Amino acid sequence: MIAVTRPVSDTIANCELTHLARQPIDLDRARAQHRAYEQALEDAGCTIVRVEAAPDLPDAVFVEDAAVVLPEIAIITRPGAPLRRKETPPVAAVLGRYREMVAVEAPATLDGGDVLVLGRRVYVGRSRRTSGRGVAQLQSMLTRYGYEVVAVEVASCLHLKSAATAIAADRLLVNPAWVAVDAFAGAGLLSIEPHAANVLRAGQTLVYPSAFPRTRDKLVRAGYHVREVEVSELAKAEGAVTCCSVMFDAS
C-alpha cells in the first residue's frame, strides 16, 4: 500500500480554522508527530511517498483534501478553502505515476476529507468545503465505474470524515452528534468521545489518536488492532489522522 504524505509547512500556524480558536503550534513538535505518524503507517505495511514540501501553503500537510484515489482513477479535488487550491498540482504530479486522473472543475468545490469510501459505496459530505456541484461532479465521475455515490449532509463539523470513517470493509466509526447515522444504512460502531470518529485504516491496523482512550478501548474490545499516535499539534490546525495521507494500492 502507498501512503502519500506531505511535510508540515513552516507556516502551519496560519492554517485555516473553522471550529477551533487559534492556538500556538509548536512546529518542531508537529514535525515530530508527523514523522511518528509516517512511521506508524510504515509499520502497518505502507510505503511512504512524499509530495514536495510547500513552505508557503499552511495546510499542505493535510494532503487528503487534495485528492481521492480509487483503484480505477484518481480525482484531483478543488478545495473549498480558496487558499488551499494551490496545494493540488504537486499532489497530482505524484499521483499521475499511479493512476489516470480527472479534476474537479470550477465552480464546484470538493475536499477529500468529505469523501468516505466503503466498498463500492462512496459517501460524500455536502459541507462548507464541498458544494452540491462538487457532489454532482463526483457522482458523474464515479457512477461509470459502478460506484454508488451517496450524499450526506455535514453541518456540525468540518468534513464528513470528522464524523465518520471506515474501520473495516463494511464498518464505520461514527459520531452520531455530528452526522445522521441513518445516512449510512446500517453500518457502524458508534464513537463515544467528541472528535473521536476519525480513524485511519492501514491494512489490518487502525491508526488512531492517543487523545481518545475510551474509544480506543472500545475498538480494541471489538477485536481491532489499534496503533496510537500523538497528533495534538496537528489537531490544533483542525487536522486528524486520515487527513495527513492519501492511501491506495500501487496497482
Instruction: State the catalytic residues.
Output: 159, 243
Contact between 30 and ligand CIR per CB under 6 A = no
CB contact at 8 A, 30 and 60: no
Identify residues 91-130 at the interface with ligand CIR (CB under 6 A): 113
Q: Cα separations (Å) of 36 from 46, 204, 228, 229, 242?
A: 13, 18, 10, 7, 14
Per CB under 6 A, the list member of 38, 64, 87, 233 interacting with ligand CIR is: 64
Scanning 47-55, 141-149, 180-188, 232-240 for contacts with ligand CIR by CB under 6 A, the matching segment is 232-240
- Closest approach of Cβ 115 to ligand CIR, in Å? 9
- Closest approach of Cβ 118 to ligand CIR, in Å? 17
Which sign does the torsion angle of CA 196, 210, 203, 139 carry? Answer: positive
Scanning 44-52, 57-65, 70-78, 189-197 for contacts with ligand CIR by CB under 6 A, the matching segment is 57-65
**Rounded-to-10 torsion of CA 10, 81, 155, 23:** 30
Scanning 27-35, 176-184, 200-208, 235-243 for contacts with ligand CIR by CB under 6 A, the matching segment is 235-243
Amino acid at 101: M
Chain residue at closest Cβ approach to ligand CIR: 113
Three-state DSSP at 216 gives helix
